[in-house]
């Protein structure tokens, strides 16, 4: 059974050189630090310290069968934790640092708690300068799932982390809003002959296939369609969810808007012509990078506003990889508990 934390004082740190050194020391001591990445805020611990990693599960109240992503500085550090194949090297050279996670055969140095006892480990090299600075200063690979209570809406600001984990962790590094806003693409390369997208993100299957083809490798990238063993985070049917029941529709029509009562929050992809106390939007213009950046923040705003129900518009199906990622998160957020 996981030990739960007693209430503690949580401090939000500005990214000064002194604060970064202090936080790096905290990570080396086995403490938790919430830090910004380009995707969402992560709750970091020394990935080679099983006791520190157990604190992640306790603070988030996360089930131990859900493995963690490990953040590394680059390919050399990744090679200390996993068996790299030519496909992994090709993709890392193209997309790292960035929002791409690679699932690879693990080495014995990786604790079971990180991988949920599986024979693979999920690795990513983040692009956010503050995450990279802490990786370098701590000298440790950092296990870092999203810094929020398990299953709730992912955090994209330090204030979101404070709202969810305040009193459960000691340190939050404030790096401002996350510039991408949705979690990384996860590709399973445990069998490099059959690469498979486990979770969609900003990097598409087509982009991954193009890199593999150029490297003379199998370029057909499958996309996970059916439920399977949880080999990486973010694959549960119900995830990223507000407390308020959420329904996702392709488009909010004028009729639906007229018929919606005051207890229903309506979230549009782009700013509608007329507003109202129950009207929200993911973006002023509907541009998908803006929608992705604001997705979780707007779901939180609607969730905390006291409505009985939320209805949100999906991104256009033809919108490319970001639309796929946005709709994946919305569908998981709307899944019944």
Q: What is the model's pLDDT at position 20?
A: 98
Contacts for 251 with CB less than 8 Å, ≥ 6 apart: 313, 314
Look at the alpha carbons of 316, 202, 332, 245 in this order and tell me if their dihedral is positive or negative: negative
- Structure confidence at residue 264 as a pLDDT band (50, 70, 90): very high
222 and 188 Cβ atoms separated by less than 8 Å: no
Same domain, 158 and 293: no
Mean pLDDT of 211-216: 94
The domain containing residue 43 runs over which residues?
Answer: 11-179
- Structure confidence at residue 225 as a pLDDT band (50, 70, 90): confident
Read off the pLDDT of residues 115-136 as tens digits, 9 standing for 90 and up: 999 999 999 999 999 999 999 9
Q: What is the model's pLDDT at position 226?
A: 58
**187 located within any domain:** no
**81 located within any domain:** yes
Read off the pLDDT of residues 41-76 as tens digits, 9 standing for 90 and up: 999 999 999 999 999 999 999 999 899 999 999 999
Percentage above 70 pLDDT, the chain: 94
**61 located within any domain:** yes
Read off the pLDDT of residues 4-55 as tens digits, 9 standing for 90 and up: 545 789 999 999 999 999 999 999 999 999 999 999 999 999 999 999 999 9
**205 located within any domain:** no
Mean pLDDT of 229-247: 77
277 vs 185, more confident:
185
Which of 122, 150, 179 represents a domain boundary (last residue)? 179
Q: Residue 233 above 80 pLDDT?
A: no
Tokens describing residue 251: 């488009």
Which of 179, 195, 225 represents a domain boundary (last residue)? 179
- The structural domain count of the chain equals 2
Average pLDDT, the chain: 93
Same domain, 157 and 264: no
pTM of the shown model: 0.94
Q: Residue 1 above 50 pLDDT?
A: no
Q: What is the model's pLDDT at position 256?
A: 78
Q: Residue 312 above 80 pLDDT?
A: yes
**Nearest in space to 198 (alpha carbons), one of 114, 101, 105:** 101
Same domain, 141 and 284: no
- Structure confidence at residue 247 as a pLDDT band (50, 70, 90): very high
């Amino acid at each position: 059974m996981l030990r739960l934390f007693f209430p503690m004082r949580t401090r939000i740190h500005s990214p000064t050189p002194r604060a970064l050194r202090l936080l790096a020391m905290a990570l080396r001591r086995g403490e938790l630090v919430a830090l910004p990445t380009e995707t969402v805020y992560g709750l970091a611990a020394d990935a080679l310290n099983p006791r520190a990693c157990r604190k992640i599960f306790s603070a988030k109240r996360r089930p131990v069968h859900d493995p963690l992503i490990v953040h590394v500085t680059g390919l050399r550090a990744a090679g200390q934790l996993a068996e790299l194949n030519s496909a992994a090297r090709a993709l890392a050279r193209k997309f790292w640092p960035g929002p791409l996670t690679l699932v690879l055969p693990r080495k014995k140095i990786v604790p079971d708690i990180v991988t949920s006892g599986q024979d693979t480990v999920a690795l990513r090299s983040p692009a956010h300068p503050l995450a990279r600075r802490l990786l370098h200063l701590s000298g440790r690979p950092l296990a870092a799932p999203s810094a929020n209570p398990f299953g709730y809406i992912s955090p994209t600001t330090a204030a979101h982390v404070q709202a969810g984990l305040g009193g459960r962790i000691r340190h939050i590094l404030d790096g401002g809003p996350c510039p991408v806003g949705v979690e990384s693409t996860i590709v399973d390369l445990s069998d490099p002959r059959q690469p498979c997208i486990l979770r969609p993100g900003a990097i598409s299957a087509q982009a991954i296939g193009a890199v593999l083809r150029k490297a003379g490798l199998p370029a057909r990238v499958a996309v996970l369609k059916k439920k399977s063993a949880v080999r990486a985070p973010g694959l549960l049917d119900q995830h990223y969810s507000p407390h308020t029941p959420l329904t996702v529709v392709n488009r909010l029509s004028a009729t639906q808007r007229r018929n919606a009562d005051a207890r229903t929050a309506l979230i549009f992809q782009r700013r509608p012509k007329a507003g109202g106390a129950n009207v929200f939007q993911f973006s002023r213009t509907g541009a998908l990078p803006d929608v992705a950046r604001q997705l979780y923040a707007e779901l939180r705003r609607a969730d905390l506003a006291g409505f009985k129900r939320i209805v949100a518009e999906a991104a256009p199906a033809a919108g490319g990889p970001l639309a796929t990622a946005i709709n994946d998160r919305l569908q998981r957020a709307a899944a019944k508990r």
